Amino acid sequence: MIRIGILGNIGSGKSYVAKSFRYPVFNADLEVSKLYKNNKKIFLKLNKILPNYIHSFPINKNEMSKAILANKSNLNKIVKVVHKEVRKRMNVFMKKNKNKRIVILDIPLLLENKINIKKDILVFVESKKTDILKRLKKRKNFNKKLYKKFKDIQLSPSYKKKKSQFIIKNDFTNKSVKKSIKNILNQII
């Protein structure tokens, strides 16, 4: 099985690129969202470590945002709790797809949380900062301070780019992304 990890800045179009490969995708953001909605254990753990912020189940994203913005260490506390469970779900995904030729890992903190393995093929999604900001501002609940906090815990784009075997320049057109993916697949299969 070939594992392809998708890297890039917040809002660069990683999930779009991941889906465009047309292979099974493990989307960590989607898994986190499901955890907040359905996992009472995660709620109880977060409530225990952040009792002043996390009060309601399903976990309210506004409460999470307030916790993250209130204190620098809160984001790290949340990541510690949530990523353990995300990793478990990724392992289930890998077992389920063990006979697939390729799987795509759409995990924002793939390198930061050392989820990648040595033989993973890393693809960096590069987009213009102006395009990224335009897209992020269209998102419901976009918060510039929150965006900065998440950016601060990520490795630099230049480091991720250096670690990647491939770079996809995402100009947010279907044609260019599909062409880049076709080139990558031709080289690795």
pLDDT digits (tens, 9 = 90+) for 21-31: 999 999 999 99
- State how far the Cα of 158 lies from the Cα of 131, in Å rounded to an integer: 18
- pTM > 0.85: yes
Above 90 in pLDDT, residue 141? no
Mean pLDDT of 33-40: 95
* In contact, 26 and 107? CB cutoff 8 Å: yes
Q: What number of CA atoms fall less than 13 Å from residue 161's CA on the CB side? A: 10
- State how far the Cα of 78 lies from the Cα of 80, in Å rounded to an integer: 5
Angle formed by the axes of helices 144-152 and 72-96, nearest 10°: 70
Above 80 in pLDDT, residue 172? no
Kindly compute the dihedral angle of the four CA atoms of residues 173, 175, 177, 183, in this order, to the nearest 10 degrees. -160
Above 80 in pLDDT, residue 93? yes
For tokens 């990724």, what's the residue? 90
Of the chain, the percentage scoring pLDDT greater than 90 comes to: 72
Mean pLDDT of 134-147: 82
Which neighbouring-strand residues pair with 4? 104, 121
Above 90 in pLDDT, residue 138? no
Mean pLDDT of 124-134: 88
What pLDDT band is residue 16 in, cutting at 50, 70 and 90? Answer: very high
Pairing state of beta strands 102-106 and 2-8? parallel
Kindly report the average pLDDT of the chain as a whole number.
Answer: 92
pLDDT, residue 58, reads 96
Above 80 in pLDDT, residue 148? yes
What pLDDT band is residue 144 in, cutting at 50, 70 and 90? Answer: confident
pLDDT, residue 156, reads 92
What pLDDT band is residue 140 in, cutting at 50, 70 and 90? Answer: confident
- Domains of the chain plus CATH, in order, are 1-24+100-189 (3.40.50.300), 31-96 (no CATH)
